[in-house]
Structure 1
Amino acid sequence: MKSVKSGKDRVVLDTSLFVNPDVRYDFGDSPTEAIKGFLVIAEQIPSLEFYMPSSIFRELLNFVDQRKIPGRLLAILHQKSPSKHELSCPAFLLYELIEDIRDRINKGLRIAEKAVRNAG
C-alpha cells in the first residue's frame, strides 16, 4: 500500500522476520545480526517505508543485544501502530482467519477426546 504523504510503498514488519530461524538466515545468523543485515538491505531500497507497531518493536528488543543495534534502526524502521478504526480488511482474509480458528479448535477437541478415551 502506498503512503499518500510520501508516495512510497509501506511494509509492515513482524518480530518473526528477525527471530524465526527459517526466515532470518537471509539476513544474519542471530536476531541481532539479522537486524543489521536488514538495515543494509533496507537502506538500498529508498522506495519503501518500513513500519513496526511499537508493541512488536518492544518484543523484538527482548531477542537482541541492544548494545549492538545501530542507531539508524530508528531512522529506517518507523514505530507506528495501525489505526484500528480506519483499518479495512478484505473479507477473504476474515473468512480464512475464521476457518483457521475453527480447524484449530476442532483439532484441540479431537486431541482432548482421545486423551479422555485413553485415560478411562
Structure 2
Amino acid sequence: MKELTKAEEQVMQIVWDLKETNVRDAIACFPDPKPAYTTVATVMNALVKKGFVNKIAQGKSHVFSVKIPKEDYSGYKAGALVTNYFNGSFSRMASFFAKDNKLSIQELEEMIEIAKREINKEK
C-alpha cells in the first residue's frame, strides 16, 4: 500500500467520512480558509492514481468514492509505526505510550482485551 501525503490524508479523511463526494462538497468540509478548487481536485486525482478512490463521471463533474477503507489504511499505518519505531514489538509500543502518554492501567487492559478479541476472530 502506498503512503499518503499530509494533504492527501486530509482529503481522504473527508472522502472516508462522506463515502462519496465531488470536489465542491469536499471543499465545504474544510475549515476556513477553504483550499482552492484546483488544489483539492489535484489531490483527488492523486488519490485516484494511488488507488485510494474511484472516480466516476457524473454530468459535467466527477464523483469520488472510497476504494480503500479507512480501517485498511489505519492498519497499514499502525503496522508501519510498530515496525519502524518499535522494532516490530507491540509491547514496546504499549510500554512507550504507557510511560510517555500516561495511559492508565484500565486503558492498557482495554488494549489487551481488544487484541484478544481480534486474535480470536482470526482463529
The structure carrying a bigger helix percent of its residues is 2
Larger radius of gyration: 1
Greater relative contact order (Cα 8 A, min sep 6): structure 1 or 2?
1
Provide the TM-score with structure 2 as the length reference: 0.29
